[in-house]
Amino acid sequence: MLGIPRRYSHFVFGVIQAGLTSFIAAAIASISLWGSGRFLYNWLISWIVSWAIMLPAVLFAAPVIQFIAVRLTRDDDRAG
């Protein structure tokens, strides 16, 4: 365990979420290069660039998305 204080969990979540999302998206975008032998190189470069772009987007968007999600939903124990 790294022992990162819980108050930074939003940032840890953002790093992991942006990393995983960009990892998958870069692989999908690079799949056409599978047979050419350039897949791994292209995928790694694409992943690094997309992670650098997605990380700030996730960190800034997540609180807004959470707010919207809470406003669009209701408590389970409240009658509709």
| pLDDT band at residue 73 using 50, 70 and 90 as cut-offs | very high
Residue where the block lists tokens 């998305």: 65
Q: What is the pLDDT of residues 33-63, one digit of tens each?
A: 999 999 999 999 999 999 999 999 988 988 8
